[in-house]
């Protein structure tokens, strides 16, 4: 596929020969499970494996009838709903590629994604979280808008129901879907994941996490996020005959009743949700005893809080340090408690290659902090249609520069010590500093802008925008600035939490804005 960077042939041969890549297709994830078993629960809706399979097959036929075909790209922006799972399975079966946007994205992100991906369709809810996605859709120039709900002038998802037809399946080496990178530069990047690498991603994860037919997997993070989708996530649970329960959010009053009612055994959360749950237990009376494992990842989970989980929530913690780009690290279910508390896990696969390097790219001695570089059977070799960015983000021999600073223990476990990339990790939501700065620079009163992460006890980090205001202008208030960003169609999680005005930016010896010194001004 044009714009996709695959693995060199020698690596392909090796990953196949060593059994990491098999011939599986993502659309076949339900195969082999008893059709009468329960597969998916969302609100009042309950689907067995047989029903989910039929709905996916009928929707696949509907998409083909609409005029979509193998190789087409579709931006999917759906909340946690049966339509997300059905639509995704349908597309994967016929080789239509979903580009997984987050529900919080707005015109700025969606317009860009539709353009970059050359999307033919955009799949949305009618109204979600008070936002009418159809209005957003009217600003795009895609051929088809598919609406889950009241479709107005668009195509209704319900109408995509058609009698199954024969179709040509994709090949295991084809790109199956696009995930979004957290981003460090002006605009987010697309990560093409192939059938065989993503099947390996969730199957190996399901193995390490002990998923099986008795797994009750609760989805509280956006289903479009790699963590909830395939680590082991929705796909991992379905591949093992487990039950997937969709929640609208991680709020205790949404999640706890579902844990009790559905006998949920495992859930993936970001640290702020874990903290919320630790606090909420004392004032809730739900029975959480079915919960066996709380997976925590997306941002660093403090050791002091990790040790509290078993006593307070009555389950084990599993730390997960992953990335949409590929590499996943998990603490293992039988790791000693101290290791589970302090480390962010070790690589999923024996074929994951890890290097920890200094600023010159030399390996640091074991146990010392350096940048994590990685290569492996489910880690990308390049972002989609981004050659210039790829030249910087990968070594000549194909290692991905994660921008994460880690320390590696003798056991192979990694401890995340910080970050080198210019990104703010706001409780697991990633904000590319440069992207936000570019929006801030568009404000008439702003001469220059620098976004930095400020430590926060709950979110891990919050965003502070340092502004140099144009001479004679008054600085915008935080409220005005948020309104301004909203009017530009920027997702709300990227809004600054705080603004500071400053006369000049501190600089590094090479003349770059020193974000370290800026952050230090606040503490």
Residues that bind ligand OOB (CB under 6 A): 182, 226-227, 231, 297-300, 319-324, 328, 344, 402, 404, 416, 419, 425, 428, 430
- Minimum CB separation of residue 435 from ligand OOB in Å reads 14
84: three-class secondary structure by DSSP: helix
Which residues lie closer than 8 Å to 97 by C-beta, 6 or more apart? 71, 72, 73, 74, 91, 175, 176, 177, 178
- Minimum CB separation of residue 325 from ligand OOB in Å reads 7
458: three-class secondary structure by DSSP: coil
Separation between Cα atoms, residue 458 and residue 272, nearest integer Å = 6
Of the pair 33, 328, the CB lying nearest ligand OOB is at: 328
CB 248 within 8 A of CB 222: no
Of the pair 262, 429, the CB lying nearest ligand OOB is at: 429
DSSP label of 124: E
Of the pair 136, 327, the CB lying nearest ligand OOB is at: 327
Of the pair 110, 231, the CB lying nearest ligand OOB is at: 231
- Minimum CB separation of residue 92 from ligand OOB in Å reads 19
Which residues lie closer than 8 Å to 70 by C-beta, 6 or more apart? 94, 95, 96, 167, 168, 170
- Minimum CB separation of residue 423 from ligand OOB in Å reads 7
Q: Beta strand 121-125 with 73-76: parallel, antiparallel or unpaired? A: parallel
CB 416 within 8 A of CB 405: yes
Name the E strands within 2-94: 38-42, 45-48, 73-76
- Minimum CB separation of residue 459 from ligand OOB in Å reads 13
Of the pair 276, 468, the CB lying nearest ligand OOB is at: 276
Give burial (CB, 10 Å; 0-12/13-18/19+) of 3.
Answer: middle
- Minimum CB separation of residue 299 from ligand OOB in Å reads 5
CB 146 within 8 A of CB 121: yes
Edge-to-edge strand order for the sheet containing 460-469? Answer: 446-456, 460-469, 498-501
> Which CA distances in Å does 87 have to 82, 97, 124, 155, 228?
8, 11, 11, 14, 16
- Minimum CB separation of residue 348 from ligand OOB in Å reads 10
Of the pair 165, 458, the CB lying nearest ligand OOB is at: 458
Of the pair 215, 344, the CB lying nearest ligand OOB is at: 344
Separation between Cα atoms, residue 256 and residue 262, nearest integer Å = 10
> Which CA distances in Å does 510 have to 349, 358, 405?
39, 18, 21
Of the pair 40, 424, the CB lying nearest ligand OOB is at: 424
Largest CA distance in the chain: 71
Q: Beta strand 423-426 with 400-408: parallel, antiparallel or unpaired? A: unpaired
The number of beta carbons lying within 10 Å of the beta carbon of residue 199 is: 26
Of the pair 61, 102, the CB lying nearest ligand OOB is at: 102
Of the pair 27, 222, the CB lying nearest ligand OOB is at: 222
- Minimum CB separation of residue 398 from ligand OOB in Å reads 18
Residue whose Cβ sits closest to ligand OOB: 322
The number of beta carbons lying within 10 Å of the beta carbon of residue 31 is: 11
- Minimum CB separation of residue 300 from ligand OOB in Å reads 4
Helices (H) and strands (E) in the chain, counts: 17, 27
Of the pair 52, 323, the CB lying nearest ligand OOB is at: 323
- Minimum CB separation of residue 285 from ligand OOB in Å reads 31
CB 427 within 8 A of CB 458: yes
CB 383 within 8 A of CB 399: no
Of the pair 60, 175, the CB lying nearest ligand OOB is at: 175
- Minimum CB separation of residue 65 from ligand OOB in Å reads 35
CB 270 within 8 A of CB 301: no
Which residues lie closer than 8 Å to 303 by C-beta, 6 or more apart? 341, 342
- Minimum CB separation of residue 146 from ligand OOB in Å reads 26
Of the pair 83, 331, the CB lying nearest ligand OOB is at: 331
Separation between Cα atoms, residue 71 and residue 74, nearest integer Å = 10
- Minimum CB separation of residue 169 from ligand OOB in Å reads 27
């Amino acid at each position: 596929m044009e714009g996709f960077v695959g693995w060199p042939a020698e690596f392909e041969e090796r990953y196949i020969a060593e059994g990491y890549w098999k011939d599986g297709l993502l659309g076949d994830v339900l195969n082999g499970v008893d059709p009468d078993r329960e597969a998916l629960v969302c609100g009042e809706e309950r689907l067995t494996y047989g029903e989910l399979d039929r709905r996916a097959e009928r929707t696949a036929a509907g998409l083909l009838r609409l005029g979509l075909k193998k190789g087409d790209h579709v931006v999917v922006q759906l909340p946690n709903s049966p339509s997300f799972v059905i639509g995704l399975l349908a597309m994967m079966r016929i080789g239509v590629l979903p580009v997984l946007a987050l529900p919080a994205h707005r015109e700025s992100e969606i317009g860009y994604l539709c353009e970059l991906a050359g999307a033919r369709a955009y799949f949305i809810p009618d109204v979600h979280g008070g936002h009418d996605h159809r209005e957003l859709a009217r600003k795009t120039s895609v051929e088809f808008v598919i609406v889950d709900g009241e479709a107005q002038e668009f195509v209704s998802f319900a109408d995509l129901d058609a009698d199954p037809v024969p179709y040509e399946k994709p090949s295991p080496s084809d790109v199956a879907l696009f995930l979004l990178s957290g981003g460090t530069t002006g605009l987010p990047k697309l990560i093409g994941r192939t059938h065989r690498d993503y099947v390996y991603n969730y199957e190996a994860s399901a193995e390490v996490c002990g998923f099986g037919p008795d797994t009750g997997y609760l989805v509280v993070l956006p289903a479009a996020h790699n963590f909830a989708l395939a680590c082991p996530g929705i796909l991992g649970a379905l591949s093992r005959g487990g039950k997937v329960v969709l929640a609208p959010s991680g709020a205790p009053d949404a999640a706890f009743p579902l844990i009790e009612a559905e006998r949920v055994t495992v859930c993936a959360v970001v640290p702020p949700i874990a903290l919320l749950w630790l606090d909420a237990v004392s004032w809730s009376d739900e029975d959480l005893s079915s919960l066996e494992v709380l997976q925590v990842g997306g941002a660093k989970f403090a050791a002091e809080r990790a040790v509290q989980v078993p006593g307070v929530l009555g389950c084990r913690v599993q730390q997960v340090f992953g990335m949409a780009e590929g590499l996943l690290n998990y603490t293992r279910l039988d790791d000693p408690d101290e290791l589970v508390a302090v480390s962010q896990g070790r690589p999923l696969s024996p074929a994951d290659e890890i290097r920890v390097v200094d600023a010159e790219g030399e390996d640091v001695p074991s146990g010392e902090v350096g940048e994590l570089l990685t290569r492996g059977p489910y880690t990308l070799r390049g972002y989609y249609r981004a050659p210039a960015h790829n030249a910087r983000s990968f070594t000549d021999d194909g290692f991905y520069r994660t921008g994460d600073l880690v320390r590696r223990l003798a056991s192979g476990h990694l401890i995340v010590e910080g970050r080198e990339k210019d990104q703010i990790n706001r409780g697991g939501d990633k904000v590319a500093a440069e992207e936000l700065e570019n929006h801030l620079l568009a404000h008439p009163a702003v001469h220059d802008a620098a976004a930095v992460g400020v430590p926060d006890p709950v979110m891990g980090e919050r965003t502070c925008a340092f502004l140099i205001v144009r001479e004679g202008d008054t600085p915008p208030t935080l409220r005005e600035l948020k309104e301004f960003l909203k009017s530009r169609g920027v997702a709300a999680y990227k809004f600054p939490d705080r603004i500071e005005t400053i006369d000049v930016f501190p600089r590094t010896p090479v003349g770059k804005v020193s974000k370290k010194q800026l952050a230090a001004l606040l503490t």
